[in-house]
Each structure stands twice: as structure tokens, then as C-alpha cells.
Chain A
């Protein structure tokens, strides 16, 4: 009898939803909520979770797209851990992130504090726009221009350095220098984005707190270290998380500027992934690199959030 009742109720969806009871109202409310989040859930499933799962599946195969895939188990992963080019590219990405994101946060914070000083409104807008403009440009386009500007022999940068008596710097042709060049190029382009974030964060700090600190005599380093940075910590966390995720995925600008060279000195993890997938048609191997990169990014992001409990303060 109980089974018959259940079947009858389940087949009457309209009745279940329109039931004029408190439970029915809750159901209708819940339905509305689900309908609103449905596009997002579908988007995540189709465009994020799906590709991640497919990548993991593909990483267990040898496949060049034009021939049927062959199951190879964990062979791609065992090859990956002994592939010095891939290991070097991950190390390059890590060095890049530490340098670029660290400097990006420091510079953008300093610039934001500088822009917070009293100045004419038009100057404030001018500086904000000037710093943000490079962020609006394409990484590939800036890469082309920068590679000309930074040419060792006839680049404009070395020309002016030469006028100051500074020898030509092998910006793009020395293994020891090239990664720093890539970091500089990244900073030039992306510091404006962090600057806007920092300005937003600073403007969110309660004026009562800042006034109270001033009354209590906080100034200079104490004011920055004891008041501003703790209050700005959510913004710093955001910048660090977004910066690390983006930094580990850096591709277009260094690829256009150096093609990973000289040697492998500026080859990043995504560059090896791209080369494996699109130059070498090793889709399975490229997928294994993608999976490892995904795991690395996930682990670092999780670590950042876990550590944030110790230093991030929400007002």
C-alpha cells in the first residue's frame, strides 16, 4: 500500500509543486533557486569539470588525434617525471610566479598608497589610466613590440642604456637574463590590474579605523604594518590567489617573445603543454601535463586558503 502511494505522488509533479501547504511553498522557492543556479552549474559541468575529467581520461592514452588512441595506463606520467624539459618548465613557472606575483603585489600596493596621497583629481585619473592601459592590450601584441624594444643589438631600450654608458643587456638571448625579462614584461602589463584591486581594497578600509589609528599616533611603518595591511589582507589574499593561478598559466607573452628560449630558459609549463598537444600531436602526454598543472594549482590555492586563516582579517 505504501509503495502504491509513493508511486502516485511521484508521478504527479505538478501537484507536488503546487501543493497549498508550507512544504509546497518551500518546494516552489527551492525550485526557483535551482532554476537560477542551473545555467551556472551546467556551465561548470560542461566547460570546467567535463574538460578536467576528459583530460584525466586522455592522459591514460597515447593519441595523436589522427589515429585511434591506445591505452597506456600511467606511462605518460612516468615519462613526465623523467622529462627534463617538462621539469625545467615547471621550475621556470614556479620561479616566474614567485618573482612576478611577489613584485606585482608589492608594486601595486606601493602605487596604490602613492595614489592615495593628496593630488589633483585629474592626476589621479591620469595615473590610474596610465597604469591600467597595458592590461587592456593583448599579451601577444605586447610580446611582439617588447621583443623589438628589447632586442640586444638594435633595441630602443639598449640604445638609451648605451647613452648612459650601460653595456647592451641580452634581454632575450641570455639564459641568465631572459626569465627576468619575462617577469618585467608581465609586471608592466599586469601591475595595473592589481593596482585597481588594491585601490578598491584601500577605499574599503573603514575611515573610523584609520582616524582612530591617527588619533592613537600611528604613522609611517606602524600605520602600514599594524593597520593598513591587516585591513587590506582580504585584497592581498585575492591578489595572491588570482596572481598565482594566472602566473602558473602564463603563456602568450613569453611564447611570442622567446618561444621558450634560449634553450629552455623561459619555457613555461603551459608552453610545454601547448607544444606537446599542438606541435607534437601528443594529446595524451599533453593531458598528463595539464592534469599535473591542475593538481599543482589546486594544491597551492588550497594551501593559500588554509594559511589565510592565520593572516587574513575580515572586517
Chain B
């Protein structure tokens, strides 16, 4: 007799369907518990507290929270700390979090990630808020250099209000300078002056190994050897200005000569990595390492160099205002370091990065996020923040860069930080198009290959150029609008 019952295959089918049904049932959200009865039917509903999810360091933000809550008791902040070795790594993590569906109402980003977020439609343009609250924020714009604002614009709109910035100036170890009989360099010192000082200070032992380095830098996009590219008149990409932004310049910077010619943000369009200026700049730093004036480079944000500097094994390094706070926190005494503008070459055009808070385009509480961001960049907010945290980065407000801010930590020539913008208004942000993350990977990779001698500077930049061209070609969907 033929067995007409369920065979194993049929049973497995049934079991599969049954299991799926059980799992689906488990996924159905439970009914919310019944709300507790109100004290009285006529009681007015209390105003709901809005909890903003903020990407940021809660320890740094704490000084602002209580004063903010006093004015806005209906807004609470929940911080999500995201760490990384550099800005592009933090941006990668944030993008992954958003992609995974994690809600972030607003966060902090530096130049490296601004166009990355804005280009993907993740960041919200602040134009309407700024225009609406013009009277309230006019004082802020009057205090902030227009180049910082322009760096935070994308395709005609403002996406962040700069809270801090860091231009790559030249820090030096005063003890090593004094021992070598070198004075504070002149404002317009040249690349050759720099080389003379670096080589004079560098020391080698009997075996030919360097014991004191004249110069050092780390392999990244900001700082790195990018300042040499800028002062040599080069860049990784052609620099263009997006249209738009006239309303902003005419409203807030009508009488500021430094605002003349500014547009709607930067466009870094065509790679120029193998231009003579860039190759020459790379050749300079390769030479410094190969002759032992500079150490082998490594990746990172420069913490290792602080150890070098503190041990009097390093004379000079490119860094911004953040280094003053970092050195002070590391116990470096006031007066043991100082800062000067980056040396001139074909020009003295500096590179900088700036940072601020971006508001999520997908966030449900943009108004509340703007309220906090506005408080953070207000005089009160910035004084609270920098007062509690110290000058661990350069405030975007000119009025905050005063002698008393650096009285305890140094450097003596703290004026250099804002002079970089005021005396060199052509100073510009590092190239950070919407493809800045893969671009940075390519840049640091080929930098490494040139610095280890695997490729000559020309070969390295030729290959980087080709890879950047390929990257731009396949990323047209997130690059700038055509036409």
C-alpha cells in the first residue's frame, strides 16, 4: 500500500511556515500599557519634553546643558559619543549609524564631512532659520570671518555655523629654538628659512640615527603635507565657487572687504594631484624624511607628535589652535612652545578646517536642534564651553581670541590664529568634496607610498591623479550639480 501521509519534505515545509508565523507573531509590538489616569479631567496636558539625540562628547557639552535647560526646560539632550582617529573615520561611523536607522537629530562635523553629509541629503540647510532669526545671529556673523562661513556652505546654502576652526600654523619648541640660537620667525618667513632652521636643529647620533627632529607631521588630509601644497599654490582639486549665497553676504557682511567675491560654497571639481605644485610639495617632505630631518610618517591625529614635542625631540610641526590646549593638557609649560604663520613659498595661503553642528534632514526636531545650535554659538554658549574645556580648539569668534584666553597656557603669539584669516584672506578650507572619504583614503595611501620610497613623488601623484579621476567619474551622482 502506498503511504499517503506527510513525507519529510512536506513536513519540513510545514515546520518552516509554522516557524515563520511564530517569528512574525513575536515581532508584533506589544500593546502599549494603558496611560495612567489624569489627576482630573480638566487638567491641562503638560508640555512634552523633546529629547534630542546628539552626536557629541557629553563631557565637553556638560557646561552648556544646565544654562540651556534653564531657558528651554522642554528640550533635553541625549548624547551619542562617536570616536575615531580622524574626522573621516567619525563621519564613516555616523553614516553607518544613519544607514542602520539610528536617529540622530544633530551632530558635530568638520570640513571633511560637511559636503559628504550635505551631498547625500543628510544635512539640513540652515538658511530659513538664519533668515528668520537674523537679528539674533547678526552679532555672531559680525564676529566670525567670512571665509569660515563660506567653508560651511554647500551649493548656495549654509549647513553649519562654525564653532571652531584650525588653520595649519607652525608650532615650534622654544627650548630647541633657543639652543640653536633661532629667534621667533618673521611673519613672512619663507620655505628656505624654515628648511635652514629645521636642518640646524635636527641632530643625529654617532650611528647616524636622528635623535632630534627638525620637523614632523602625520599622514592625514588636514595638516599633513597639505599646507605645503597650499603655500606652493597648488591643491588636490580645482577650486570653484558654487552660485548663491548673495543674501548672506549682503545681509551680514555688506561692509566687510574680506567677504568680496565669496559665493555659495566651494566646489572641488577636477583632480590636480599631479600638478607641478603638488609634486614639488611632496618632494619637499620626502626629502626631509629621507635626509633624517623629519621622522617616518604615521597615520593619526598627531598625539604621538605631542610626545615627541614634549620630550624635546621635535622642533616644529604644523598644527592649529587645538595643539595649544593639547600641549597644555599634556603638562607642557607655558612658554615652552610658540606658534607662527606657516612659511611662505609661492604664497602664504594657509589651509584650514572648521567645524560646527549640522542638523539632520531626517530629524523630527529641527527647530529644537537649531535652538541648541544657536545657543552653542552664542557668546554665552561659547564662553561657557571654552571656559570649561579650555582652548582645545580655536574658537571661530574673533572676540574670543584674546590675551587672557591664552594667559595660562600660551602660546605667546596666539594672535597668529586669527591673523591667518585676517592677513591672508585667500586662506581656504582643505579640499573636501562629497567624495572626501574615499579621496582621503587615496591621498594617505599614495602619500605613504611616496614617503617610504615605494614610488617617486611624481609616480605617486600620477597614480593618485588617475585614481581620483576614476573616483570622480563613478561618483557623479553625489558630486556637484552639472551646468
Contact = CB atoms under 8 A, between A and B. Distances in A.
A34 B6 CA distance: 14
Interface string B98-123: 11000000000000000000001110
B308 A278 contact: no
Interface string B1-29: 00111101011101100010000000000
Contacts of B122: 66
B4 A175 contact: no
A174 B307 contact: no
Contacts of A13: 6, 14
Contact of B298 (A10, A172, A264, A280): A172
Chain A: interface secondary structure?
loop
Given A5-B4, A175-B452, A279 B92 contact: yes
B295 A264 contact: no
Interface string A55-68: 00000000011110
B373 to A, nearest CB: 23
A27 B8 CA distance: 9
A51 interface: no
A5 B438 CA distance: 66
A278 B299 CA distance: 19
B120 A278 contact: no
Given A42-B19, A173-B298, A278-B95, A34 B121 contact: no
Contacts, number: 118
Interface stretch (A124-132, A151-159, A227-235, A297-305): A151-159
Given A153-B295, A278-B96, A174 B120 contact: no
Contacts of B299: 258-259, 261
A261 B120 CA distance: 29
Contacts of B296: 152-153, 170, 173-174, 262
A271 B441 CA distance: 12
Contacts of B3: 23
B441 A9 contact: no
A65 B11 CA distance: 39
B12 A34 contact: yes
Contact of A153 (B6, B99, B313): B313
A279 to B, nearest CB: 5
B188 to A, nearest CB: 32
B437 interface: yes
A66 B96 CA distance: 10
12 contacts: A10-B10, A13-B6, A31-B11, A65-B99, A152-B295, A154-B308, A167-B207, A259-B444, A260-B445, A262-B449, A279-B92, A281-B95
Given A67-B477, A175-B448, A279-B89, 6 more contacts: A5-B4, A34-B15, A64-B120, A167-B207, A174-B296, A261-B444
Interface of A: 2, 5-6, 9-10, 13, 16, 23, 27, 30-31, 34, 38, 42, 64-67, 85, 151-154, 167-168, 170, 172-175, 258-265, 267, 275, 278-282
